[in-house]
Every structure is written in C-alpha cells, then in structure tokens.
C-alpha cells in the first residue's frame, strides 16, 4: 500500500492527500465520457475510496444531473458518517442552458441546498464556484451573483471554505484576486502536453491559495494514448499534439513505464500543486493509480518528456 502524506490545503486548515478522487463520471455519463457505471459498481468504488489511503474526494452539483452526489450520499448514509479526516468538496452549478442559464445568487443557494440534501450533510467543507466562464466576471461578482451568495452561505456556517474551479486562466486569476477563494481548480492546463497553468499556480502560492490540478490525463489521451483517445480536453485537437503524445507514449514504453504513470507523476512532482484529481469509475482504478504513483521514473525519461512537450502556442491558456 502506498502511503500518501497529507499536506495543508492552503489556508483552509484542512489537510489532504496529494491524490483526490474525482467522481465526474461515477454518476454515469456515457454520452460525455463513454462510461456507463451502474449503482453496484459506483457503490463498490466509493467504499474503496473511503476505506483507502486517499482522504480527498471531489464532486459537483451538475455531475450526471446530481447522480454523482446522490451516490456519494447513499454510501455515506451506509457508513453512517463521512470518515474522520476525510475532505469532501462539491461545486455550485447553474440551472438551464444557453440564453436561459441561471447562475444567479438565488440559484447558487439552491445548488448548495440540493448538494446538502443529496450528500446528507448539514455543512459542506469546501464548495467551488464551477466554470464561472459560463457568465461574465461582472455578473458572477455582482451583489445578486453567485459569489456574494457563496460568501453569505460561508458566513452563515453552511459552507466552511470557498473555491473556484474553471478553465480560462486569466479569469481564474481574477477570481483568486478577489480574496474570496482559498482553493482553485485548474483543469487540462498542467499536463505532459500543456503547461500553461504554471503562472497561475505561482501567483496562487504568493497569495496563499491552494492549487488542485484537474484532468492530468487530458480527458484520457495521456492515460489510454492518442490512438485510443484522440481528443485532448474533450475537443478537437491539433495533430501535432497527438504526435507529441504518441512520442511520449513511445518514450515511456522504452523505459517500461505506462504513459498514465508519467502523466499522474508529472502533476504530483510539481510543488505548487497541493492535490491532483484522478477520475475513477471502478475500485481497481484506485489501486492502479496508487501503483502508478509508486513507480520510480528515471531522470532521463523526464528529460525526454520535457523535450517532447508541444510548443506553448498550442497550449489552452
């Protein structure tokens, strides 16, 4: 069994392992991830997660229309409580779509109420503002917007700590600079093929905001390989990125190392990152990830992988 030493999650007072269990696909979203996960497999996966060495789990109000939270809540009810020392994070999400998207302060309050009901928890340890790029920064931070509502819920004792999780790095930095958030999740922007988030991570370190790195496999390309998963970050991907990922896979094979092991360790070895989210859909995935973390990768492989990184003009930013 791999021992995962806990470290402070910024200034929250919480301590977390460097690995975080991601549950976006655990609610079963075959239309997006290609994974169909039934109740029994979800239950077994969550029981394994709560019994293992990882003490950090991530979900969201919107994952599979709330099914991820419902499944977590059912297992917590079965256990009788959240395991001691465990940190459970969820996210505030809007309702509706397109021009009818509701990401108001009132919606933020409803999102939190829904999460509390599904999870069976009166108080939420950590709640992120999720993908705020879906509205403008001005609307998000307006007096009737979701940030103000989340602040009020924190002051009321419903939420202990606030975070922000999203894509565009410049926007995340604006939210960090409000001083309202203690944790930031960036996804797909610090991986073997994209290092664009480093500047944000360094800024977060300066202001005492913890960094959680999401999607170190880029949606599967850096776990399964670019021939099995040709798209990076669930979008059309330039062929040069696939070529570089293919070359990285070959370099790993020459050293007898799975590409997925290099991908997860690339995130874990970055000192500016507190925790890395690894999505799981089956119990054995947790053991596999721990085994990948335990592998010793030679310095010459890291040098090769650095040389193969795509140019920065292809990074998401």
Q: How far is CA 266 from the centre of its chain?
A: 15
User: Which residues in the chain show pLDDT less than 70?
Assistant: 1-3, 28-35, 98
CATH code of the domain covering residue 282: 3.20.20.100
* Residues of the domain holding 271: 16-93+110-131+160-167+178-312
Placement of tokens 């944000």 in the chain: 200
Tell me the C-alpha distance between 50 and 211, whole Å.
Answer: 22
Instruction: Report H helices in 7-158.
Output: 30-33, 39-51, 67-79, 105-119, 137-140, 146-155
Helix or strand (DSSP H, E) at 186: strand 183-187
Q: How many domains in the chain? A: 1
pLDDT for 33 equals 53
Helix or strand (DSSP H, E) at 127: strand 124-130
Q: Is residue 59 part of a domain?
A: yes
Q: Is residue 104 part of a domain?
A: no
How do residues 63-92 score in pLDDT, each as one tens digit? 999 999 999 999 999 999 999 999 999 999
Q: Is residue 40 part of a domain?
A: yes
pLDDT for 29 equals 59
Q: Is residue 26 part of a domain?
A: yes
**Residues 165 and 130 sit within 8 Å (Cβ to Cβ):** yes
Q: Any idea how long the chain is?
A: 317
Tell me the C-alpha distance between 212 and 198, whole Å.
Answer: 12
Q: Is residue 117 part of a domain?
A: yes
Beta bridge partners of 8: 15
Tell me the C-alpha distance between 168 and 24, whole Å.
Answer: 20
Tell me the C-alpha distance between 242 and 264, whole Å.
Answer: 18
Q: Is residue 245 part of a domain?
A: yes
Q: Is residue 8 part of a domain?
A: no
pLDDT for 27 equals 81
How do residues 4-51 score in pLDDT, each as one tens digit? 899 999 999 999 999 999 999 998 655 555 568 999 999 999 999 999
pLDDT for 1 equals 43
The rounded radius of gyration (Å) of the Cα atoms in the chain is 19
Q: Is residue 83 part of a domain?
A: yes
Q: In which region does residue 100 sit, left (phi positive, over 0), alpha (psi from -120 to 50) or beta (all else)?
A: alpha
Report field, pTM of the whole predicted structure over 0.85: yes
């Amino acid at each position: 069994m791999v021992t995962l030493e806990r470290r402070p999650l910024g200034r929250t007072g919480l301590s977390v392992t460097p690995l975080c269990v991601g549950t976006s696909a655990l609610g079963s979203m075959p239309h997006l991830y290609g994974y169909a996960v039934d109740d029994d497999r979800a239950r077994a996966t969550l029981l394994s997660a709560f019994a293992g060495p990882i003490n950090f789990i991530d979900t969201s109000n919107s994952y599979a229309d709330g099914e991820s939270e419902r499944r977590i809540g059912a297992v917590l009810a079965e256990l009788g409580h959240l395991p001691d020392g465990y940190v459970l994070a969820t996210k505030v999400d809007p309702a509706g779509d397109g021009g009818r998207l509701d990401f108001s302060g009132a919606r933020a309050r409803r999102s939190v109420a829904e999460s509390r009901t599904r999870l069976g928890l009166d108080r939420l340890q950590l709640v992120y503002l999720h993908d705020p790029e879906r509205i403008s920064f001005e609307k998000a931070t307006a007096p009737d917007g979701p940030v103000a509502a989340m602040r009020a819920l924190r002051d009321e004792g419903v939420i202990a700590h606030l975070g922000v999780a999203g894509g565009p790095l410049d926007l995340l930095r604006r939210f960090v600079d409000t001083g309202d958030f203690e944790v930031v999740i960036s996804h797909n922007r610090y991986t073997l093929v994209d290092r664009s988030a480093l500047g944000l991570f360094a800024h977060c370190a300066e202001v005492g905001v913890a960094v959680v790195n999401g999607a170190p496999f880029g949606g599967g390309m850096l776990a399964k390989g670019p021939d099995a998963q040709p798209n990076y970050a669930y979008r059309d991907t330039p062929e040069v990125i696939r070529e570089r990922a293919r070359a990285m896979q070959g370099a790993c094979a020459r050293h007898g190392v799975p590409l997925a092991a290099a991908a997860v360790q690339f995130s874990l070895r970055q000192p500016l990152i507190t925790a890395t989210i690894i999505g799981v859909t089956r119990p054995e995935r947790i053991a596999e990830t721990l085994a990948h973390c335990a592998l010793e990768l030679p310095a010459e492989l890291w040098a090769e992988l650095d040389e193969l990184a795509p140019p920065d003009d292809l990074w998401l930013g």
